[in-house]
Amino acid sequence: MADKRRKRVTEFIEPFRVRPGSEVTLGKDFDPAFKAGVKKKQGVALLAEGVRLLSEYQARLAAQDTWGVLVVLQAMDTAGKDGTIRHVMSGVNPQGVAVHSFKVPSAEELDHDFLWRYAQRLPARGQIGIFNRSHYEEVLVVRVHPENLDRQKLPKAARKGDIWRRRYREINNWERYLSDNGIRVVKLFLNVSKEEQRARLLRRIDLPTHNWKFSAADVAERERWDDYQQALSEMLSNTSTEWAPWYVIPADRKWFERIGAGAVLVHALMEINPRYPSVSKQQRETLLEVKQALEAQAPKGAAPDPFEQGQAAGDTGDAKRRDG
């Protein structure tokens, strides 16, 4: 059952995966409207299954306290990063997740090396961390708008030669270090088309409740669409690695985007396969001694172990027993 499900998820996400070493041309190689033959109606059940699995795996991840998961989300404006986070993580215990949004760097951040601010926000073991924008902005917006690089106060030598190639290498090495040390890196690029972006920008103008989301800066960035597609293609070609591959998620249909993103995250957790820690024989014996002592404290007429009794009757929840 579990094996079958894992196989199904692996096959489902395969078309999104950027094969390490492959040369990507985003506009040609990935269709933003792809939906893997899934109908929107079926999509509801699939997303519900994904949300349930994530909740289950997240509980085990936290209990095991060995692996952390870093989800890197990149996308063009309006592609649906926020909605994807909201829907995919809707079933997960908020204590186990932290979302960090990266904006224009502060003066303090610019006073450090370029990976510093991202390293500050890494998830701990047992935690899922989500980067809403990430260290990849350092080879995207910084590349498309080189004035960002001017603000980074780099020594002359660090700007010589092909700085982007060097950054790809540095990012790959950093992610390798993280995965070697128990922080699994899951990278999602939410791929929206230029035409769908146009429609979504108009929607933000047309719907008064969405006006707040509209930013003139997004329209200015849209003017640079081709430059971003070029920078994105190079990023995907150079930073999809065996230890941290990129997944390009079709984003023109929001319902499919959420299923796709959820499936990649579920798949990563399936590979980690975290387990609840088991106790040693000695710990178990101690537990049984305490159990005996607690049972001896039962007031007159009470079951020595109400939980054990409930379990025999098919009741597993303590809240239910208290209500009944």
Q: Which residues bind ligand AMP (CB under 6 A)?
A: 102-105, 133, 137-138, 141-142, 148
Burial class from Cβ neighbours inside 10 Å (0-12, 13-18, 19+) for residue 288 reads exposed
C-alpha dist (Å) from residue 91 to 54, 116, 126: 7, 31, 17
Nearest residue to 256 via CA among 26, 42, 5, 19: 42
Token duo for residue 6: 């894992």
138 binds, options ligand AMP, Mg ion, none, Cβ within 5 to 8 A by partner type: ligand AMP
Pairing of strands 246-250, 183-191: parallel
Calculate the CA dihedral of residues 112, 114, 117, 119 and round it to 10 degrees: -110
| Residue 163 Cα to chain centre, angstroms | 28
Q: How far is the CB of 30 from Mg ion (least distance, A)?
A: 22
To the nearest whole angstrom, how small is the minimum distance from the Cβ of residue 218 to Mg ion?
A: 5
d(CA 42, CA 242): 32
- Choose the one of Mg ion, ligand AMP, none that binds residue 187, judging by a C-beta under 5 to 8 angstroms depending on kind: none
Q: Which residues contact 131 (CB under 8 A, 6 or more apart)?
A: 70, 71, 72, 73, 100, 102, 118, 121
Say what angle helices 225-239 and 163-180 make with each other, to 10 degrees.
50
By a kind-dependent CB cut-off of 5 to 8 A, residue 103 interacts, out of Mg ion, ligand AMP, none, with ligand AMP
Q: Where are the alpha helices (DSSP H) in the chain?
A: 2-13, 26-29, 40-64, 81-88, 107-110, 116-119, 141-144, 147-150, 163-180, 194-206, 216-222, 225-239, 254-272, 281-296, 306-312, 318-323
* Least distance between ligand AMP and beta carbon 27 (Å): 20
| Tokens matching residue 49 | 């299954």
CB-nearer residue toward ligand AMP: 103 or 281: 103
Nearer to ligand AMP, 104 or 303 (CB): 104
Q: Interface with Mg ion by CB under 5 A: which residues?
A: 77
CB 68 within 8 A of CB 127: yes
Which residue, among 236, 72, 226, 53, has the nearest Cα to 144 in the 3D structure? Answer: 226
Task: For ligand AMP, give the closer residue by CB, 202 or 302.
Answer: 202
Q: How far is the CB of 222 from Mg ion (least distance, A)?
A: 11
Smallest distance from ligand AMP to CB 166, Å: 16
Q: Which residue is nearest to ligand AMP (CB)?
A: 137
Residue 169 CB, shortest distance to ligand AMP, in Å, is 18
Q: Is residue 235 within 8 Å of 169, Cβ to Cβ?
A: no
Chain CA centroid to CA 35, Å: 20
Give the one entry of ligand AMP, Mg ion, none that residue 148 binds, where binding means its C-beta sits below a cut-off of 5 to 8 angstroms depending on kind. Answer: ligand AMP
Residue 104 site contact among ligand AMP, Mg ion, none (CB < 5 to 8 Å, cut-off depends on kind): ligand AMP
Which lies closer to ligand AMP via its Cβ, residue 132 or residue 233?
132
Q: How far is the CB of 206 from ligand AMP (least distance, A)?
A: 20
Of 102 and 255, which has the nearer Cβ to ligand AMP?
A: 102
Task: Report, in Å, the least distance between residue 221 CB and ligand AMP.
Answer: 7
Q: Pick the closer one to ligand AMP by CB: 221 or 252.
A: 221
Choice between 75 and 268, CB closer to Mg ion: 75
Residue 141 interacts, among Mg ion, ligand AMP, none and using kind-specific CB cut-offs from 5 to 8 Å, with: ligand AMP
**CA 236 to the chain's CA centroid:** 17
Measured from the CB atom, the residue of 124 and 205 that comes closer to ligand AMP is: 205
Of ligand AMP, Mg ion, none, which one does residue 142 interact with (CB within 5 to 8 Å by kind)? Answer: ligand AMP
Residue closest to Mg ion (Cβ)? 77
